[in-house]
Amino acid sequence: MNTKSSIKSPLIAPCGMNCGICRAYLREKNKCFGCRISNKNKLSSRVNCNIKNCEELKKNNLKFCYLCKKFPCKRINNLDKRYRTKYDMSMIENLNNIKKIGIRKFVAIEKIRWACSKCGYTICVHTKNCFNCGEKKL
């Protein structure tokens, strides 16, 4: 399937979140550019993220949480539980997949996984709708 996705490696957060499928990234007003992207207008919740600012990540210069000796920590477990329950997506599963197949293959799979079957644009993980045509993800 040829997708019109903007999902790329810098949009995969240290916690395993694919920022490219997040409502805050997909929307136009008060848009978030992902936690790895430097932007002076970045939302305070992204600037102050406890996971992104984790001492272990910073101290050891780790790109992803799965590289940490404490993985999965309490913060990741809590985030994972919330996303599995509310949005049927697992941060821990994402991180384990990145570890297993690498970031490039993971991103390629995500582009297909979150592409609208009707128009090829991105499905939002939070609403399960395409941000272009409104089609519901099956």
Give the model confidence (pLDDT) of 104-113 as tens digits.
Answer: 999 999 999 9
H helical segments located in the chain = 23-26, 44-47, 55-59, 74-87, 91-101, 103-113
Residue 50's pLDDT is 77
Residue 43's pLDDT is 57
Residue 80 near residue 116, CB atoms below 8 Å? no
pTM flag (> 0.85): yes
How far, CA to CA in Å, does 137 sit from each of 14, 28, 114, 131?
A: 26, 21, 8, 11
Residue 30's pLDDT is 81
One-letter amino acid at 7 equals I
Q: Name residues of the chain where pLDDT drops below 50.
A: 1-3
Residue 10's pLDDT is 80
Q: What is the DSSP letter of 5?
A: -
- Name the burial class of residue 100, with classes exposed (0-12), middle (13-18) and buried (19+) by CB atoms within 10 angstroms of its CB: exposed
